[in-house]
Amino acid sequence: MLDIRFVRENPDIVKENIKKKFQDQKLPLVDEILDLDVKLRAAKTEANDLRANRNALSKQIGMLMGQAKKDPSKKEEAEAVKAQVAAQAARLAELEKQEPELEKALTEKLMVIPNIIDPSVPIGPDDSCNVEVARFGEPVTPDFEVPYHTDIMERFNGIDLDAARRVAGNGFYYLKGDIARLHSAVLAYARDFMIDKGFVYHIPPFMIRSAVVTGVMSFAEMDAMMYKIEGEDLYLIGTSEHSMIGSFIDQILDEKELPITYTSYSPCFRKEKGAHGIEERGVYRIHQFEKQEMIVVCRPEESMAWYEKMWRYSVELFRSLDIPVRQLECCSGDLADLKVKSCDIEAWSPRQQKYFEVCSCSNLGDAQARRLRIRVRGADGKLYLAHTLNNTVVAPPRMLIAFLENHLQADGSVTIPAALQPYMGGKAVLTPCK
């Protein structure tokens, strides 16, 4: 959410940014916001003037009533002033009713306006305009056919989608045996990887209140992602970033505490609205999965440096497991409204002969901090808004796809990299049952 002062002073910049995001339907909102801002400030000014005048008149009434003991005519003057106060009270009550209504309308419109993107973000309407920045590791194409990922898992008797459909419907799964163990091993390895980077490990609440939901994401994202708990002000989280950033709501942080670096584990729950293609069957796009996340709260001038560090941590982790990846810079039209800059880390799929998303790193500037009122007290005692960032460490369902495809051998076995072997009971190879 943008600062109303910024919108007031830079309406052309805000409109140009909307155009860069290919959201021209939102352009009229800028003028509507400016109109509401004028009305709200006028209402506040008039209300403050009436309150000041009421105080002055109240003192005058007290003085006149005191004088009335000696001069009865002063009582009549006092009654006249009382009538004036009563007349103004009706207008003040009207203004005091208008103020919250105007503030609510203004805030709702401001929350729909996209954040100002970084100048380095490539301009384009959708993900087809995302830009490859760099590749890490040599993509390998084996000389044997790589099966679909669920077919690989079934060879290890490691997945049961039919039972999951009977229990919960489409978009769920049972993982079993070595595949389930591999899933847990990847999460444990990712946890320790981030702890070694100095991040503090957390397991957060898996439900959050609506005030946190609207603080961490746009309305469009909320509608597409979040599951609401019927009859309660609670939502299932779509990522632990929601709980972790939400933990700072209404807090004033000491600048000396920054940067705050957390890594958090959670199950994640997503509606995943819309139809998906064949490559999103299996466990690629599902309603429930587990994830290790990284979150940073820092000073504004440090957020871009942290953005660079965070996506590079993802690259380092995947390369430590011998999985080739690339960094893809997200274009303006592919950025969620709160994001200043974002990139995806994509893993190589030998079966598809292309890369697919496994991590998403985002700098949200002060958007979440403004919505959640996360402030920092500087050395000079002044308050300012923190910057927040997040990045996927690993989301095992997609990580498992990349892992199994890149470590599959011609005989159907799957090799385990040295870094992961301690988490797999020392196993160096998984042997299929079928």
pLDDT in tens, 263-301: 999 999 998 765 454 445 678 788 999 999 999 999 999
Domain ranges of the chain: 4-110, 127-430
Q: What dotted CATH number matches 4-110?
A: 1.10.287.40
Measured distance CA(151)–CA(140) in Å, rounded: 20
Q: Tell me, what amino acid is at 206? A: F
Averaged pLDDT of the chain? 91
Query: Is the pLDDT score of 83 beyond 80?
Result: no
Report field, pTM of the whole predicted structure over 0.75: yes
Which one is the CATH code of 127-430: 3.30.1370.10, 3.30.930.10, 3.30.70.2390, 3.90.25.10? 3.30.930.10
Instruction: Give the least confident one: 105-114, 163-172, 265-274.
Output: 265-274
Q: Are 57 and 80 in contact (CB under 8 A)?
A: no
Judged on CB neighbours under 10 Å (0-12, 13-18, 19+), 10 is middle
Q: Where are the alpha helices (DSSP H) in 334-395?
A: 367-372
Q: pLDDT digits over 171-217, tens only?
A: 899 999 999 999 999 999 999 999 999 999 999 999 999 999 999 98
How many other β-carbons are positioned within 10 Å of the β-carbon of residue 18?
19
In this structure, the strands spanning 207-208 and 235-236 are: antiparallel
Q: Tell me, what amino acid is at 25? A: Q
Q: pLDDT digits over 353-411, tens only?
A: 999 999 999 999 999 999 999 999 999 999 999 999 999 999 988 999 999 999 999 99
The one-character DSSP state at 352 is T
Q: pLDDT digits over 322-340, tens only?
A: 999 999 999 999 999 999 9
**226: helix, coil or strand?**
coil
Q: Are 37 and 8 in contact (CB under 8 A)?
A: yes
Determine the angle formed by the axes of helices 177-196 and 396-407, rounding to 10 degrees: 110
Q: Which residues of 212-226 are buried (b: 16+ CB within 10 A; e: fewer)?
A: bbbbbbbeeebeebb
